[in-house]
A and B are shown apart, each in its own frame.
Chain A
Amino acid sequence: MDLLLAAAQVALAPAALLAVVAGTLLGVVFGAIPGLTFTVAMALVVPMSFSLDTAPAIGLLLGTYIGGMTGGSVSAILVGIPGTPSAAATVLDGYQLTRRGKASLALGTAVVASAFGGIVSLIVMVVSVDMVAKLALRFGPAETFGLLLFGLSTICGLAQKSLVKGLISGILGLLVMTIGIDEMEGVQRLTFGTIVLQQGVSLLVAMIALFAVPHVIDAFVKYYTGERKVEAVADVRAELPTIRDILRDFWLMLRCALLGTGIGAIPGTGGPIAAFLAYAHARKSSKRPERFGKGEMAGVVAPETANNAVTGGAMIPLLSLGIPGDPATAILLSGLLIHGLIPGPMLFLQNPGEIYQIYLAIIVAYIAVVAIQLLGIRFFVQVLRVPAHLLAVGIIIMCAYGAFAIRNSVFDVVSVGVLGAMAYGLTRVGIPLTPIILGLVLGPSIEREFRTAMILSEGDPSVFVASIPGAVFLGLAALVVGAQVLRAARATLSARRTEEKSRASVTPSE
């Protein structure tokens, strides 16, 4: 208790508080602007944190991370472009809600769900960091492969009308991510002997291209063909969700928060995967799954709760084992190292005070996020008043800059253009983009885990079912795929039967 009070004195000192709030604000702004992500924001603040004391430095970095994670939902909901990859699932229903004039309601719900997810994951971390870390240790490459495959099979059921088109799209996503140097064997793939292609396509760049460019082209096309929409401007109220609205989805939020924490704790996964899994779960468990994709609030609540729960989940292996789960936590790790905090089992014994400071900084950051976003909603929604073609100009500038800023590479800007034009072409021929995103997000992880598991077992495939978690997840994946195939087959059969019947009923009447 003394330790907690002492930590509170440090973590709640004006300088530390200011650092957390400043970081959160920066994170929200970077997260909210399409093209700019919190990974870029964190890379910017790391040098600043060098000269700060430990508590403000950690606060600044954590604030940026958390602010960015929630900020991503703002542009996802308002303009249909996720501010961060983790908010990609939020677009599916969030943007539809905006089109139905419920933008501020969706934004308010998203930020409350985010904070809820973050705080639940923090509680799980505080209570059971050792246990969760031990559980995470049992997830080796084979088990993680099983989990990812199960995830893929669940998510595949999302919004696919045509199986073939869905598969085409998913495989394109997988192909794009193989470009570059294969980090495991060091061989070049699809680089055509050039150096620029060796850097490969960054996930962030692909995300910007897939979401922002078709949106921008569409806006321009509509402007020049005179097809202007007026209704979008009409409804820009700042309507906040009531407590009752939020409590209605309480159990869903709790389940998604736990799911996100679990996914975050397993190395090799991350925010986007958790968000899509939560979305799929929400749709499965909903009483009215047909309303998903058309503007269902649960479709915003689930991914936003889960992707923020990942922040707390990812802190578990970071602090207790010293492994960063994604680029953002890797930056956090270097920030901790430079202040003499070496993550690992000894951190909890040697620096318990700093651990409490981290916990408190997370809580402060979430309070700041809720305050900033709820205050900001009335300003955010003004974006909807901007005519679509003018907004598109702003978006394309921010996306070009954002793509460049990730790795200071002109190649990435060109990639956004090329991939974006391709994505627009795909939408024109009716190929859905969601499976591409799943391919992008899950492809590299699945490939890496599969290959590592096979190397470890020296080529023996039984490794995937040798452990209980592995066998369970593979079994579930098989079940999900089997059920889907069965349902699809039955649907085709009954369609054929009704067709025959209708034909049969036509013939005798003549």
Chain B
Amino acid sequence: MNTRIFASVALVAAMAVGIGGQARAEFPEKPVEMTILFGSTAQTIGQLLADLMSKHMPEPVVPVSRPGGGGAVGYQYVHGMPADGYNIVWNSNSISTGYHNGGIPFDFNAFQPIAKISVEVPAFAVRADSGWNSLSDMAADIKASGQKLKIGASGKGSFTHLTTEAILAAMGLSDMAVHVPYDQGRAPVELIAGRLDAALQWPGQFISHHEAGTLKILCVTSAKRISQLPDIPTCAESGADGMDIVMWRGLAAPAGTPEDVIVKLEAAAKAAAESDAFKQAAQTIGFEIDFADHAAFGELIARDDKAIADLMGQLGMKAQ
């Protein structure tokens, strides 16, 4: 409330100055539009973040959904907008996967990072009756039997598919597996029904079934265990050495957006990410808050882009 009053006072003052002399208008003088690229969890977190950021800015942040083409449609839209900070994008690793598979004609350099907000960590699950307690168990069994492992993830080139391939490569199972693409989170159900041997999806889709004992989560793909599943080992602990793959989400603006505008958006994003409402949502929706400022975020994006390019190159899925 105080910030609102302060902000409106500041706005009135700015207007008075504006009428008297001539000063450049303060950012923001109109609502900021946040383009959301995907549905489900990404959309929910994005809408909540926009709602919370609005409380720390004199003008609201409006979430606008522009899905399609694996993020290409939304990235293209924001890319084509003026670099004034009024159009930002709720981005993710999809900028790299989309560019390298040929869906997007520009790479991450087309955007100026604002802040990293959160990470989501995929979980690897197997059938409850599989008898496997770790990735090593699974790999040994598969190699001994010669039976191919049927593993479910989202469509080819998606983030969960790439993560799946990375785990298989680390376990030496690349030629011993069949990737089955599913949409709408059907992979966990197919796993319970016994049509799959393993599945890689977001933890939220597995947790209830894991607790009920109808399937078993073997590991999570991050370097550290996640707060939602403190008892589940990491995939590195489970046998896939050095495994550290997470899906980050953050905010970015078109390249060339002025530094002072970026800093203001970053401050609002930081306040939103540190709010209690966001922390609570992280627990219930199933993501980890992991704020980083625009400089650190920029380094992460560049590093991650290289890793994804390498991985897609190895899989023969790199188009550019």
Interface set of A (CB-CB < 8 Å, partner B): 43, 46-47, 50, 137-138, 140-141, 180-186, 188, 195-196, 198-200, 267-268, 317, 321-325, 327, 330, 333-334, 337-347, 349, 407-409, 448, 452, 455-456, 458
> Chain B CB within 10 Å — which of A141, A195, A456 has the most?
A195
A301 to chain B, nearest CB (A): 31
Which of B63, B70, B184 makes the CB contact (< 8 A) with A181?
A: B70
The residues of A that contact B63 with a CB separation of less than 8 Å are 47
Known: A46-B47, A337-B284, A408-B65. A456 touches B214 (CB 8 A): no
Bound complex: CA of A407 vs CA of B211, how far in Å? 36
The residues of A that contact B76 with a CB separation of less than 8 Å are 195
B281 to chain A, nearest CB (A): 6
Known: A330-B40, A337-B285. A186 touches B158 (CB 8 A): yes
Contact A458 B148 (CB under 8 A): yes
Contact B189 A267 (CB under 8 A): yes
Q: Is B48 an interface residue (CB 8 A)?
A: yes
Known: A199-B73, A322-B188, A334-B40. A345 touches B103 (CB 8 A): no
Contact B208 A347 (CB under 8 A): yes
Q: Is B6 an interface residue (CB 8 A)?
A: no
Chain B, range 63-106, C-beta contacts under 8 Å to A: 63-70, 72-73, 76, 101, 103-105
Q: Enumerate the 5 nearest inter-chain pairs by beta-carbon distance, A residue then B residue, closest first.
A: A344-B208, A199-B68, A198-B69, A186-B157, A345-B212
A389 to chain B, nearest CB (A): 34
Contact B214 A345 (CB under 8 A): yes
Contact A322 B205 (CB under 8 A): yes
Known: A137-B189, A452-B181. A198 touches B103 (CB 8 A): yes
Other 13 A-B pairs with CB < 8 A, given A186-B156, A408-B66 = A47-B48, A183-B183, A184-B155, A195-B69, A195-B72, A199-B73, A323-B186, A334-B44, A343-B208, A345-B208, A345-B212, A409-B73, A452-B182
The total number of A-B Cβ pairs within 8 Å is: 156
Nearest to A185 among chain B residues (CB) is B156
Bound complex: CA of A137 vs CA of B186, how far in Å? 11
Contact B64 A338 (CB under 8 A): no
Contact A321 B189 (CB under 8 A): yes
Nearest to A46 among chain B residues (CB) is B47
> Chain A CB within 10 Å — which of B64, B186, B284 has the most?
B186
Q: Is B313 an interface residue (CB 8 A)?
A: no
Which of A137, A268, A346, A452 makes the CB contact (< 8 A) with B208?
A: A346
Contact B68 A200 (CB under 8 A): yes
Bound complex: CA of A267 vs CA of B183, how far in Å? 11
> Chain A CB within 10 Å — which of B148, B150, B190 has the most?
B190
The residues of B that contact A338 with a CB separation of less than 8 Å are 44, 48, 281, 284-285
Bound complex: CA of A124 vs CA of B154, how far in Å? 32
Q: Looking at chain B, what size class is its interface with the partner chain?
A: 35 or more
Contact A407 B66 (CB under 8 A): yes
Known: A184-B155, A186-B157, A340-B284. A322 touches B181 (CB 8 A): no
**Beta-carbon contacts of B287-310 to A below 8 Å, as 1s and 0s?**
000000000000000000000000
The residues of B that contact A330 with a CB separation of less than 8 Å are 39-40, 184
Q: Is B204 an interface residue (CB 8 A)?
A: yes
Nearest to B33 among chain A residues (CB) is A408
The residues of B that contact A323 with a CB separation of less than 8 Å are 184-186, 188-189
Bound complex: CA of A343 vs CA of B211, how far in Å? 12
> Chain B CB within 10 Å — which of A138, A327, A337 has the most?
A337
Contact A185 B155 (CB under 8 A): yes
A199 to chain B, nearest CB (A): 3
Question: What are 19 sample pairs from A and B whose C-beta atoms fall under 8 A apart?
Answer: A43-B65, A137-B192, A138-B193, A183-B183, A184-B156, A185-B181, A196-B73, A199-B67, A199-B73, A323-B184, A330-B40, A334-B41, A337-B204, A338-B281, A342-B207, A345-B214, A346-B212, A407-B66, A408-B64
> Chain A CB within 10 Å — which of B158, B205, B283 has the most?
B205
A392 to chain B, nearest CB (A): 29
**Beta-carbon contacts of B39-61 to A below 8 Å, as 1s and 0s?**
11101100110010000000000
Chain B, range 165-196, C-beta contacts under 8 Å to A: 178-186, 188-190, 192-193, 195-196
The residues of A that contact B196 with a CB separation of less than 8 Å are 456
Bound complex: CA of A27 vs CA of B52, how far in Å? 27
Nearest to A199 among chain B residues (CB) is B68
Which of A50, A141, A180 makes the CB contact (< 8 A) with B48?
A: A50
The residues of B that contact A185 with a CB separation of less than 8 Å are 155-156, 181
Bound complex: CA of A456 vs CA of B194, how far in Å? 11
Contact B195 A333 (CB under 8 A): no
B174 to chain A, nearest CB (A): 16
The residues of B that contact A345 with a CB separation of less than 8 Å are 208-209, 211-212, 214
Contact A198 B73 (CB under 8 A): yes
Bound complex: CA of A213 vs CA of B207, how far in Å? 46
Contact B47 A407 (CB under 8 A): no
Nearest to A138 among chain B residues (CB) is B193
The residues of A that contact B188 with a CB separation of less than 8 Å are 321-323
Bound complex: CA of A166 vs CA of B66, how far in Å? 35
**Beta-carbon contacts of B255-299 to A below 8 Å, as 1s and 0s?**
000000000000000000000000001011110000000000000
Contact B44 A181 (CB under 8 A): no
Contact B68 A327 (CB under 8 A): no
Bound complex: CA of A198 vs CA of B77, how far in Å? 13
Bound complex: CA of A347 vs CA of B208, how far in Å? 7
Nearest to A140 among chain B residues (CB) is B195
The residues of B that contact A184 with a CB separation of less than 8 Å are 155-156, 181
A398 to chain B, nearest CB (A): 20
Contact A180 B180 (CB under 8 A): no
Contact A455 B180 (CB under 8 A): yes
The residues of A that contact B158 with a CB separation of less than 8 Å are 186
The residues of A that contact B155 with a CB separation of less than 8 Å are 182-186
Which of A182, A198, A407 makes the CB contact (< 8 A) with B65?
A: A407
The residues of A that contact B182 with a CB separation of less than 8 Å are 452
The residues of A that contact B103 with a CB separation of less than 8 Å are 181, 186, 188, 198
The residues of B that contact A268 with a CB separation of less than 8 Å are 186
Bound complex: CA of A306 vs CA of B292, how far in Å? 50
A420 to chain B, nearest CB (A): 20
Bound complex: CA of A196 vs CA of B104, how far in Å? 11
Bound complex: CA of A182 vs CA of B101, how far in Å? 13
